[in-house]
Chain A
């Protein structure tokens, strides 16, 4: 099975794969996680708002994102972002946006919908008395949320948020469809140049497996530790 295997191609291209490809993947994952959790939390607060239009707006956005395939959303944003950029700065022509920025906006906006649902469950898992206690102490909405409810919600949902981030890490490989050079994109460029598809794609699968499996084991350990404290 491994008779005709050319391990050398992996060694030759490892520098390129990890320096260019993996850096893109990891940076994108990390920034999209931060942005996604930030906007996701805002969306969750909007969805739980007693002001109806706000709740409907956030709910509509989340449901729209959750019913579309990520590939389609990547295409949407890839073509839409230049127009939005032009509109924002008042330019006549669509502005040029690099593939990294386009991907970052896509994943932040897309994952925000998924993080929103997690944070909504997290906020709802906090006892109602906590909110009342906050208001009774004279705190306003933002103080109650920021200092009492959200810290508990984050803590309750930490394992789920991290698991979603591992999914995000795997999903970033879909930027292949707009020919961005993430880890998979870099590997596929080498694979097609040297005609070493079997070696490169198996290697990519192994690397993704090792990272995702390692991270999910860590999350599991974390979950157990949190469970003990509570």
Chain B
């Protein structure tokens, strides 16, 4: 291939003057993780709630949960990013909208990116939570009722603790997805890892070094997540179960 490799570029200073290109990319990885982590908190909270609602005996709650899932599952992530970034501030009352639009640089795209990614992922978590709850034997719920627990208590003490431990393996792949999906935030101007690799390519014309470095950083991150989640899985495994199988497909 007629390409002049120059790995030394990673150690030369970037034009912004913050340090070397490698440092510039690692800060990008920091933003990727900061976005993914904050979004993960939102996703878990809303996803657990929406997923639980869809298994309750109340028809209205099931319908509400289903509608929420269908809406956010059937619109591409990048379109949702644009909605949060360009459209939502316009639809809010003028004062709040202007305040959002005037947020200083990283935050102006960080906040919409986190909200968008959090809600986008919450839908997938809601699906996992629902299937986790439905995979429990019906007797568990009946036993809760027989013991005189209210519906809320049954969920709190009997159903959810088991369901969450069952769905840990699929949640591992979701936590890797959220890290990967945070790269879409570059389209609304957040300089996370992919965005910085792209910027580095534009500044230095070293296309493949920039993307190779980003690729290696993503692979290392994935490895770290897999190991951390394996450790967590071992720690909270339900004794006596073989372990839930991970799903296929999806991103």
Residues of A at the B interface (CB closer than 8 Å) are: 1, 64, 67-72, 75-76, 79-80, 83-84, 86-87, 92-94, 114, 117-118, 121, 160, 163-164, 167, 170-171, 173-174, 176-177, 184, 188, 197-198, 201-202, 204-205, 208-209, 212-213, 216
Contact = CB atoms under 8 A, between A and B. Distances in A.
18 contacts: A69-B182, A70-B251, A71-B183, A75-B197, A93-B2, A114-B250, A160-B248, A170-B75, A171-B76, A174-B76, A188-B82, A197-B86, A198-B90, A201-B79, A201-B87, A204-B82, A205-B75, A205-B83
A205 B75 CA distance: 6
Contact of A177 (B79, B86, B186, B251): B186
B79 A72 contact: no
Binding site of B, secondary structure by majority: helix, strand, loop or mixed?
helix
B152 interface: no
B74 A69 contact: no
Interface of B: 1-3, 70-71, 73-80, 82-83, 86-87, 90-91, 176, 179-184, 186-187, 194, 197-198, 201, 207-208, 211, 214-215, 218-219, 222, 248-251
A67 B187 contact: no
B169 to A, nearest CB: 14
A209 B211 CA distance: 33
Nearest to A204: B79
A202 B82 CA distance: 9
Given A163-B249, A177-B186, A72 B218 contact: yes
Nearest to B212: A76
Contact of B1 (A87, A117, A170): A87
A181 B77 CA distance: 17
A198 B1 CA distance: 45
Nearest to A120: B248
A68 B186 CA distance: 15
Nearest to A168: B251
Given A68-B215, A84-B1, A114-B250, 10 more contacts: A72-B183, A72-B214, A79-B208, A170-B75, A173-B76, A173-B78, A197-B86, A198-B90, A201-B82, A201-B86
A74 B99 CA distance: 34
Contacts of B201: 75, 79
Nearest to A68: B218
A117 B249 contact: yes
A124 to B, nearest CB: 11
A10 B83 CA distance: 16
A71 B186 contact: yes
Contacts of A212: 73-75
A196 to B, nearest CB: 10
Contact of A202 (B70, B87, B176, B207): B87
